[in-house]
Structure 1
Amino acid sequence: MSILESFSLAVKNILSSKTRTLLTMLGIIIGVAAVIVIVGLGNGLEQYMTDSFSGLGTNTLTVSVSSRGSTRSLSVDEMYGIVDENSQYLDQCSPTVSMNGYVKIGSDTVSSTSVQGVSEDYVDISGASVSSGRNLQYSDMKLRAKVCVIGAYIDRAYFGGSAVGQTMRIYGTTFTIVGVLAQQDEDLEEGGSDDCIYLPYTTASRISGEVSSYVITMKDENYIDQSVAALENALYEVFSSDDYYTVTSMAEMVETMTSMINILVGVLAGIAAISLVVGGIGIMNIMLVSVTERTREIGIRKSLGAKERYIMQQFVIEAASTSALGGVTGILLGDLLSVAASVVATRLMGENLSVSPTLAAVAAAFGISVGIGILFGYLPAKKAAVLNPIDALHYD
């Protein structure tokens, strides 16, 4: 008997008992669909994380510095000097001063707005651009000018799109708005990326304290390790200890979070795959029942000269076909659930999160389902193959 004939006979046996076959495949269907959705969710989260951090710049290093008491501290000029000395790896640098305080625009007091003191390079480092007016300039840093650049949300919400030349009060000090940044988020909302104010770091440090962090860009992301090492070595020479500074790479943060997501997805996919094993046990059980029901048929075939390997081949192919059919159904169900999950996740989170299973995941799920059918169909097939034809013919 050829494999094609065995497959044709297997399809007939499967179709002859549709309800039993569906119930048999249920574990496989659920397992495959669950694995596909979970892997797709993991891919979506990974892409969402990458997109979120790419806006912050994966080619940036963040340096946090704390003064070593009265014995040693790092000035802004010294940090610029370190960047210049390692120009083969490092490019732009911006001191940053975070300001926690209120902003008063006219009669409105704003508390959710992000206020930072930065250099003239920060807008370029962050990937933003100025849509109207001008950016902060080097002269603003030197003169400690009371000027600022604001995000698109503040421009629209409080100035009706005409903020350039207007004033606002930060920490009780009046600042003149000299520029408005181009919109970054799809929607303008309070607390978003467009709800921000940048002022000269020299002015900010006079108001709220010294500079304690820096954002530095790398010339080539492929040399992250070398860039970090060069920066840490220079800082170690200044402080003679690594307790007073921290160098953080955005790319490393993305890689770490991606690894965590992959581990979580792997664990969840492993749990979901348990149902595949349960489905395999169901297939083995139903095939054992099928062998019992078809004992006389097996006896007749063996008495007519059918070899053991043909009998075994027939039942293994039938088990594999049942499992493969369940795998295909599970893939279709998993794709439908992925589309539905994308819509639900996007609406609930308000973010563009796509649950997108990869072709490799789909192929692996199908391959595993077929493999499980063969694995769990072997025992019933072996039992059928070794039946004594005389006993089989006398079976009632």
Structure 2
Amino acid sequence: MNLTLERDAFLAALERLSKVVEKRTTIPILANVKMVARKGGIELRGSDLDMEIATTIAGEIEALGETTFPHAIARDYARKLPAGAKVALKLTGDRLAISSGRSRVSVPVLPAEDFPNFAAAGGDFHMVDIPASDLLTLLDRVSFCISTEETRYYLNGIYLHVVTVEGGALKLRGVATDGHRLGLHDVAVPELPAALPGVIVPRKAVEEMARLLKPLGEEKVSVTVRATTLVLVAGVTTMSTKLVDGTFPDYERVVPRGNPHMARLAADELASAVDRVAAVCSDKSRAVRFHLEDGKLTLSVKNPDAGDASDELEAEYAAAPLTIGFNGRYVLDMLGAQPGKAVAMAFADPGSPCLITPEGASGSLFVIMPMRV
């Protein structure tokens, strides 16, 4: 194998693989990148056995071939080369020479045939084409609700599935919950297959999908779902991931319907006020007391060790006075995930979950469980 490519393209490709290549592993080849130089172009591939990312770059190929080389050394070397430089890679025996101008490093390689083959499971598959921005919005709106509790592994991801909304239209829905809060977002997808199976995309894969989608804007990407795997084709990069093997709970049961007490609040004012009073919250509870009465919301925190705090802001609220507690961090996370200028909060009583719908963010809703204050 002998080829020459642009330093910037080489570095960008290595950066795209950086989250999936294992840095500390008992399997040495997982710290390597597989490079294949074929007539169609140059492909780089990384894997951690649960997820794989493959990306292609252009270059001048003098001799075809394939090998694997240490990701960390190659990325560090490429980072330190000047922008616009040419990089030559030449395989000789069990060493790969990476050079640019008068600079050169030589790294050991491992056989390409030993690199794990992330083959998609057989069976039926369903493909969805969707603008990158729409899929990114879905992930961003709900990903903060993904549970980090490993014992409830079926909550460690986003549940993607097809739903029939009012009027009979099909939409792609993403849901995430950690048992204390829930985020839900629907997006319209042309030619959405009704038979698309519901799948749980793991947290790490969600983070990688968001990273790959961000620079693509309105460009369309392809999502293929199989029995145990999901494949995202985004530009020149393909990401494959194993799915969470579990059953997502019936989330519809915890989404309140018909909460009678409604309050409308400016999102930025609410976020600022919660952030201020949370300065004296204890690290354990982070409980913020919400007291609603005619035309205003009063936020307060009492911490015997750190002091007291209160704040007041205007609210469109005309029901009976209501006092309820929430985890301040959960409220801030929710407000940070939605772009609307205002939010509507629907309450039943101090012990029931609150339904929050952002204005100007169609298709989203959030549920937060109350706390004792």
More helix as a share of residues: 1
Q: Confirm or deny a common fold (TM above 0.5).
A: no
Which of the pair has the greater relative contact order for Cα pairs under 8 Å at 6+ separation? 1
TM-score (norm 2): 0.19
More strand by share: 2
